[in-house]
Amino acid sequence: MPSFTQLEYALALDRERHFGQAAKACHVSQPSLSTLILKLEGELGFSLFDRSKKPILPTEEGEAFLREAREIMKRVESLGSLKSEEGPKGTYRLGIIPTMAPSLIPKIVLYISKHLPLVQFQILEMKTTDIVRALGRDEIDGGILATPLKEPGIFENPLFYEPFLLFTSTDSPLKNKTFLKEEDLKGNQIWLVGEGHCFRGQVLQICSNQADQVYSNIQLESSGMATVLELVKATKGATLIPYLNTLGMPEEGLSSFAKPWPAREVSLVTSRPRYKTRIHEAIMAAITESIPSAIQSLKAKDVHVIGLSKT
């Protein structure tokens, strides 16, 4: 029968796809990890990994075995987070998309450091597609991103609606315009975050895919709003920015849309709704209690939720 250590090493190798990196993650030498996995394969009677190329990949039999191993290790880990007088224990891995990280991570960290001192948190900035994939593989426990996703096996816990504002350069014809309409962006030059980020797709939907690039020979591949904002200030054009990212910014150059405001729905998503529920609830409380009351009070009728582009 495989030992828990063998399962841990095999799952680490599956995640890292590299013997040296897997050994480092498990805090053991590479020969020790390799020997134990070879012994496990000998006991099973089949190879877990195809080592013929780099990165190594699980074999067909290995995929099935590793899937069961993840389930077993999850159940073992859950024993350490059973309800007790001391509160939740164990680890919690949280993915969050880059356009939400600067405004929400500080709120989460302050809350959990006070209310969940026995939980070891790992917070990772990830794209939406990477969060969904990591949840499916049990590599993270939860994610904060824009919804609805409409992904099988993903459970969404909506937290709030976040409107979008327009930030313009000093010479933009849209500068400080009162009550923008989405059609006002047609033909204007818009800076966008890089490909693969859901916020980019949402902006393009608001612009009806009719906004022009600021410079036709420059394509930006930034994942953060800070770079985009500095480009608007230093060059020309405009960009859309989520409300929480505008807190602390001067009002100069910011314009609001007319109701219903274009907005994104922000949710905590999981793949196991009954697992680590007390930690899920604490994260949701940390966010909902710390966001501005103007955001807390928004209802669905106040906003036009921009869905996620599948392209």
Q: Give mean pLDDT in consecutive 10-residue pieces for the chain, a chain of 311 residues.
A: 86 91 89 90 91 88 90 73 62 90 86 85 91 91 91 91 85 72 68 58 59 48 67 77 85 83 92 84 87 88 78 43
User: Is the domain of 101 the same as that of 229?
Assistant: no
User: Is the domain of 188 the same as that of 246?
Assistant: yes
User: Is the domain of 124 the same as that of 170?
Assistant: no
User: Is the domain of 139 the same as that of 182?
Assistant: no
In a domain, 307, yes or no: no
Q: Which of 48, 80, 112 is the last residue of a domain?
A: 80
In a domain, 16, yes or no: yes
Residue 215 pLDDT: 47
User: Is the domain of 99 the same as that of 146?
Assistant: yes
User: Is the domain of 132 the same as that of 48?
Assistant: no
Residue 212 pLDDT: 46
Residue 210 pLDDT: 46
User: Is the domain of 140 the same as that of 88?
Assistant: yes
User: Is the domain of 190 the same as that of 64?
Assistant: no
Number of separate domains in the chain:
3
- Phi and psi for 156 in degrees, rounded to 5? -105, 135
User: Is the domain of 130 the same as that of 194?
Assistant: no
User: Is the domain of 22 the same as that of 152?
Assistant: no
In a domain, 305, yes or no: no
In a domain, 11, yes or no: yes
In a domain, 308, yes or no: no
User: Is the domain of 89 the same as that of 181?
Assistant: no
User: Is the domain of 112 the same as that of 244?
Assistant: no
Residue 224 pLDDT: 64
| CATH number, domain containing residue 214 | 3.40.190.10
Q: Which domain holds residue 176?
A: 161-262
Residue 197 pLDDT: 52
Residue 124 pLDDT: 93
In a domain, 311, yes or no: no
Residue 267 pLDDT: 94
Q: Which of 59, 80, 101 is the last residue of a domain?
A: 80
